[in-house]
Chain A
Amino acid sequence: MIGSRARKILGDLSERRGAFLMAVLAMSVGVFQISSMLYTYSILSGTLGTMFERTRPASAILVTDGDSDALIDSVRAVPGVADAEARPVIVGRVRVGRDEWVPGMFYVVRDFNKLRLDTFEPHQGAWPPGEQEVLLEQTALQVAKARSGDAINIRTVGGEDQALKVSGTVHDEGLPPSWMDHIVPGFVSWNSALRRSAGGESKQIRIRVADSPLDEGSIREVADRVKAMLERQGHHVSWINVPPPGKHPHADQMAAFLYLLGVFGLMSFVLSTALVAGMVQGLLAEQVRQVGIMKAIGGSTRQVATLYLAQVSILAAGALAVGLPAGMFAGRIFARSFAAILNGHITNTEFPMWLLVLEIVAGIAVPLLVSLGPVLQASGVTVHQALNGDPGPRADGGRRLDRAIARIDWLPRPLMLSLRTTFLRRGRLALTVGMLAVGGAMFISALNISDAWKRSVDDDFALRHFQLVVSVPHPTDIATLDRVIRAVPAVTGAEYWPEAKGFLVGSSGGSGDVVGIVGPDPGSKLLQLPMLSGLWIRSGDSTGVVINQGLFARDTTLRVGRQVRLRIRGQVVTWRINGIASEMTPMPIVYAPPDLVARAAGLQPGTARSARVVTGKTDEASQLQASEALEQAFAREHVELSSIQRISDNRKAILDHLVIILSVLTLAALIMLFVGAIGLTSTLSLNVVRRTREIGILGAIGATPATISRHVWAEGVLIGLLSWGLATLLSAPASYIMERVTGQIFFKTPVRFYMGTGPALIWLGLVVVLASASSLYPAWRASRLTVRKALSYE
């Protein structure tokens, strides 16, 4: 036998099934939001590191001139080396059209069945590949425009074109997706035909250190020991590369992604709290008369409050039961999808204990806490207040807003009624508008960030007034290059800038990150980067250089007037920094006077290895046509090419790196739409319930069901429009902060602030549609109320 109070709780739930179900649904959306976002966060925050570690990544890569098994055995014997493997690399190009090529990177594997470092797994097809075969990374098929079983044509510098059959695909979690970097990674066997036809290969030995695998200093110490041993054996080590220890190539993307996910998760929490508070307030509004009755028959404020808090607990438990499994399901799907974007796969989807605790807190304790105020307020009304109904706005119209609204008397009366009714319950209105506004601000910000990033990349590329970069494998007479290039009618100009590759030398003398070194003509109009500080390189100043902010971010001690030390071709050079340029690339680059770069790169005067080519037409199709024409021209003149990079492809590659960021922004925007719709529907539904008697009066004095529906719709749209105004205001600081932070994480520079009218207008359109859609059910319900039922409603 249950007590009368429990029966009252259950009776209310049963009596107002629709309203309570709507409340559970709205609250469960909050639980869903938080659980899906935080679960995604919890899975992914550790995933990139785990999946990278699964590949047993090499701690260092030494480029040398030998790769025999005996040599690798002696490397393994060096103290501090845990393991070593030879993995020569052949750089080439893969034909994807008649005269269209994409860069290819082919790793020669000693034994596919005994991979030791930088491991990968068979994905599909034959494993290992035969002599005339190649295995492509699973994401490379699309870029290579090939399918398993097709033959692909590979051209290497100084070698012969080689056709290899794609025997299948592999999954290499240590590599970024091919479509993102626009490079075709492939794996060939030790006796591959490609090794015989290629003009050369980079003999690379990968080592993994035994101790302190995440300490760059100790890795370099071990690598130097290996280098010394190789040199003792008569080998030459041309390069030691120490990738950032334990860091996946796309860790920065993931960091930006997780930051956004965290921000949106937090905002979801705030939103769901507001949603619950609004919902409880709405439900209690219906119960005022019953509160009066209970108090009239002896119930205390505490007893009444306890009763309603128990009701909230039941609703919260229901919401948790619905929202949590749905959130877990969605979180798993989101995490898998996002990991797939970075070429990874999820193995551990364990739901962490901290998240479960948080969910219970968010799902039960938070609703109770936010309900406490409205419950105490509702329970505190006097019997007289409760039984004499709603007194309506204050009789003296004392509040400034009331007076302002009362002055709007030029609207059609039904619309005026909607307006005034909307403003009648200001607390509830503020909650609904606030919730929708936060959702709207996130939606607008998501689009703003996306636009800001695209615009920043576009702005950056607009500063580069060349369309193609032609590279040749060996220093070549500039006169020869110029003759071949200018023979192509589409070409209107070309400049030949010396280039080199170096390593940043730290204070300890160790070599760090790879740095690109470029020597543009000081007077050139082809590259005009904005300066963050200092000056661009000048004619007559043969020692001052400019670093980009990608390099500055790696070493913030590098300032104008100080010096940057680089190791180029084994020699350490020290250059004075004249300026720091803003550039939308995470790659560290030094721009130096051409003579300085040429000397450091060992280029003879009058020779170059690359050309910046200007074409008459700059669109993507024209760039492709021009690059094909250049391919033909170089072939005709028997001048070997390394690559032709199209600027449009480079731009696309950078934008493709933003895919994961844009995905989370889109996801957040969609969730906001969903939450907004649920929140508004529940608000309007509860308003209809609360105003049932008023609807009855309207019907009694001649309002048709259509008029009443329009009334509810107008209220919904009005709330939507109010929230839109607030959302637009809120989106400015939100966009600013998120654009700065994500830009800093990904590009090492804040993205230039952008806030367009487009996203706000899109949200305006959506909010009207959303409000209209959200008002459909409440409006229909209101129109179905008969006057008798409405008038007898209590």
Chain B
Amino acid sequence: MITLTGVTKTYPSPAGAFSALRGIDLHISAGEFAAIVGKSGSGKSTLLNMVAGIDRPSAGTVRVGERPIEALSQGQLAKWRGQSVGIVFQFFQLLPTLTVAENVMLPMDFLGAIPGRERHRRALLLLERVGVADQAGKLPSALSGGQQQRVAIARALANDPPVILADEPTGNLDSATSADIFKLFAELAADGKTLVIVTHEREAVSGATRTVTLADGCVIR
């Protein structure tokens, strides 16, 4: 499903080139729930960005499904992301001027794969699935952190992508709420989604089918 071959990412810096990833080879199969762990600065988020097409490798290839995504233009990448990947951020990143339901519908609008009439119904279904359907008409600022992250997960599922990527999704939540969120991710994995989560949380690691540990830009386990 996701294959990284010899992926290296080097950033120029005043102190000299800094390698965030060094020749990563990694394969994550369809339906796997992979937790990427490691210390701060180990390259976890960079790795996730490579898979999401948010960043490009300095060397090596990233394939998600059958596509080598580093060859895609920015426009093609955006469309591909809308179709194939759902992303959940640490700080939720909901658009403050749109209601909860509208935030969930926005990726559907961008991709246009789901007919316009069905988008609202689907958004409500997704919100119901993550347990915040009663908040659909509110603005994100009216919701708690946990509720906002649930909305972000619903948004990630908007176009029913096969892959969900999450970068420290519980880093900004209390432990009880974090547990609820991980439970939600486990359900998604059980439904056949491929999940890649960057996290520090032990609960996530325990719920994951696989743990990938990074240190200094290399996979050590």
Q: Which residues of A contact B (CB under 8 A)?
A: 389-397, 406, 409, 412-414, 416-417, 420-421, 424, 693-694, 697-707, 783, 786-788, 791
User: Quick one: closest A residue to B116, CB to CB?
Assistant: A412
Docked CA distance A699–B53 (Å): 10
The reply on B67 being an interface residue by CB < 8 A is no
Q: Give CA–CA (A416, B75) in the complex, Å.
A: 22
CA distance A694 to B89 in the complex (A): 13
Q: Is B78 an interface residue (CB 8 A)?
A: yes
Q: Could you tell me if A702 and B95 are in contact, using CB atoms closer than 8 angstroms?
A: no
The chain A residue with its CB closest to the CB of B55 is A788
- CB-CB under 8 A from A699, the residues of chain B are 74, 78, 81
* CB within 8 Å for A702 and B98 given contacts A393-B139, A395-B141, A788-B55: no
Do A413 and B109 touch across chains, with their CB atoms under 8 A apart? yes
The distance from the CB of B208 to the nearest CB of chain A, in whole angstroms, is 23
Residues of the A chain whose Cβ atoms lie less than 8 Å from the Cβ of B159: 702
B18 in contact (CB, < 8 A): no
Contact B107 A396 (CB under 8 A): no
- Bound Cα distance A707, B106 (Å): 12
Q: B95 near A394 (CB under 8 angstroms)?
A: no
Give the Cβ gap from B160 to chain A, nearest Cβ, in Å.
Answer: 13
Once the chains bind, are B81 and A701 in contact (CB under 8 Å)? yes
For A704, give its contact among B79, B96, B138 (CB under 8 Å). Answer: B79
* Residues B54 and A700 in contact, CB atoms below 8 Å apart: yes
A–B Cβ pairs within 8 angstroms, 16 of them: A393-B141, A395-B139, A414-B106, A414-B110, A700-B54, A700-B89, A701-B81, A701-B155, A702-B82, A702-B110, A704-B74, A704-B75, A705-B74, A707-B110, A787-B52, A788-B55
- Say yes or no: A702 contacts B140, CB within 8 Å: no
Further contacts, 19 of them, CB under 8 A, given A703-B110, A787-B52: A391-B96, A392-B141, A393-B141, A395-B138, A395-B141, A412-B109, A413-B105, A414-B110, A417-B98, A698-B95, A698-B110, A699-B74, A700-B52, A701-B87, A701-B106, A704-B78, A704-B110, A707-B110, A786-B55
- Cβ distance A578 to chain B, nearest Cβ, rounded Å: 69
Contact B97 A787 (CB under 8 A): no
Q: Interface of chain A, helix or strand or loop or mixed?
A: helix
Of B54, B55, B97, most A-chain CB atoms within 10 Å: B97
Contact B107 A701 (CB under 8 A): yes
Chain B residues near A393 (CB-CB < 8 A): 96-97, 139, 141
Q: Which residues in A have their C-beta under 8 angstroms from that of B91?
A: 389
Contact indicator B97/A420 (Cβ below 8 Å) = yes
| Contacting pair B74 A786 (CB below 8 A) | yes
**Contacting pair A697 B110 (CB below 8 A):** no
B residues apposed to A, CB below 8 Å: 49, 52-55, 74-75, 78-79, 81-83, 87, 89, 91, 93, 95-99, 102, 105-107, 109-111, 138-142, 155, 158-159
Top 3 closest pairs, chain A to chain B, by CB:
A702-B82, A392-B96, A420-B97
**Pick the contact of B99 from A406, A701, A787 — CB < 8 Å?**
A406
A702 touches which of B79, B96, B99 (Cβ 8 Å): B79
Determine if A417 and B55 form an interchain contact, defined as CB atoms under 8 angstroms apart.
no
Complex CA gap A692/B106 in Å reads 18
Check if A788 sits within 8 Å of B79, measured CB to CB. no
A149 to B173, CA, bound (A): 94
A420 and B140 CA atoms in complex are apart in Å by 14
Q: How far is the CA of A693 from the CA of B93 in the complex (A)?
A: 9
CB contacts between A and B, total, < 8 Å: 103
Closest to A420 in B: B97
State A414–B49 Cα separation when bound (angstroms).
25
Q: Is the interface of B mostly helix, strand, loop or mixed?
A: helix
Please name all residues of chain A whose beta carbon is closer than 8 Å to the beta carbon of B82 when the two chains form the complex. 701-703
In the complex, the answer to whether A702 meets B81 with C-beta atoms within 8 Å is yes
CB pair A694–B95 under 8 Å, yes or no, is yes
Please, which residues of chain B bring their CB within 8 A of the CB of A409? 102
Question: Given that A416-B98, A705-B75, A788-B55 are contacting pairs, would A396 and B106 also be in contact in the complex, using a CB cutoff of 8 Å?
Answer: no
> Please, which residues of chain A bring their CB within 8 A of the CB of B109?
412-414
CB distance from A360 to the nearest CB of B (A): 40
A390–B98 Cα distance when bound, in Å, is: 14
For A389, the closest partner residue in chain B by CB is B91
- Flag if A701 contacts B110 (CB, 8 Å): yes
Known: A413-B102, A702-B110. A697 touches B93 (CB 8 A): yes
Q: Nearest residue in A to B78 (C-beta to C-beta)?
A: A704
- Decide: B141 and A700 in contact? CB cutoff 8 A: no
Establish whether residues A787 and B105, one from each chain, have CB atoms under 8 Å apart when the complex forms: no
Q: Which residue of the partner chain A has the closest CB to B120?
A: A409
Give every chain B residue within 8 A of A698 (Cβ-Cβ): 95, 106, 110
Residues of B within 8 A of A406 (CB): 99
Give B75's nearest chain A residue, CB to CB.
A704
In the complex, chain B residues whose CB is within 8 Å of the CB of A421 = 97
| Residues on A with beta carbons closer than 8 Å to the beta carbon of B111 | 702
Bound-state Cα–Cα, A150 to B98, Å: 77
Q: Which residues of A contact B107 (CB under 8 A)?
A: 701-702
Residue of B nearest to A786 (CB): B74
Looking at the complex, which one of B102, B110, B140, B155 makes contact with A392 (CB distance below 8 Å)?
Answer: B140
Q: Please name all residues of chain A whose beta carbon is closer than 8 Å to the beta carbon of B139 when the two chains form the complex.
A: 392-393, 395, 397
Report Cα–Cα, A395/B89, bound state, in Å: 21
Give which listed residue, B53, B55, B83, B96, contacts A390 with CB less than 8 A: B96
Q: How far is the CA of A396 from the CA of B143 in the complex (A)?
A: 11
Whether A697 lies near B95 (C-beta < 8 A) is yes
| B93 cross-chain contacts in A, Cβ below 8 A | 693, 697, 700, 791
Q: How far is the CA of A394 from the CA of B98 in the complex (A)?
A: 12
Cα distance A786–B75 in the bound complex, in angstroms = 10
Chain B residues with Cβ below 8 Å from A397 are 139
Distance between Cα atoms of A397 and B96 in the complex (Å): 12
User: Are the CB atoms of A700 and B75 closer together than 8 Å?
Assistant: no
Nearest-neighbour CB distance to chain A for B190, whole angstroms, equals: 24
Candidates A390, A391, A392, A788; contact of B54 at CB < 8 Å: A788
From A694, A706, A783, A787, name the one whose CB has the most chain B CB atoms within 10 angstroms: A787
A414: chain B residues within 8 A (beta carbon):
106, 109-110
Would you give the shortest CB distance from B153 to chain A, in whole angstroms?
A: 12
Provide the residues of chain B in CB contact with A413, threshold 8 Å: 98, 102, 105-106, 109
B88 to chain A, nearest CB (A): 10
| A700 and B107 alpha carbons, distance in the complex (Å) | 9
Considering only CB atoms, which chain B residue lies closest to A391 in the complex? Answer: B141
Residue of A nearest to B80 (CB): A702
Complex formed: what's the CA distance from A309 to B155 in Å? 42
Most chain B CB within a 10 A radius of its CB, from A390, A417, A697: A697
Chain A residues positioned under 8 Å from B87 (CB to CB)? 700-701
Chain B residues, CB < 8 A from A424: 96-97
Q: Shortest Cβ distance from A786 into chain B, in angstroms?
A: 7
Contact yes or no, B142 A396, CB < 8 A: yes
A787 CA to B55 CA, complexed, in Å = 8
Q: How far is B110's CA from A389's CA once the two chains are assembled, in angstroms?
A: 26
Are A706 and B49 closer than 8 Å at their CB atoms?
no
| CA A294 to CA B91, docked complex, whole Å | 22
Among A392, A693, A697, A702, point to the contact of B83 (Cβ < 8 A).
A702
Q: Chain B residue with minimal CB distance to A395?
A: B142
- Give the residues in chain A near B96, CB-CB below 8 Å: 390-393, 424
Say yes or no: A420 contacts B98, CB within 8 Å.
Answer: yes
Interchain CA distance A693-B94 in the complex, whole Å: 11
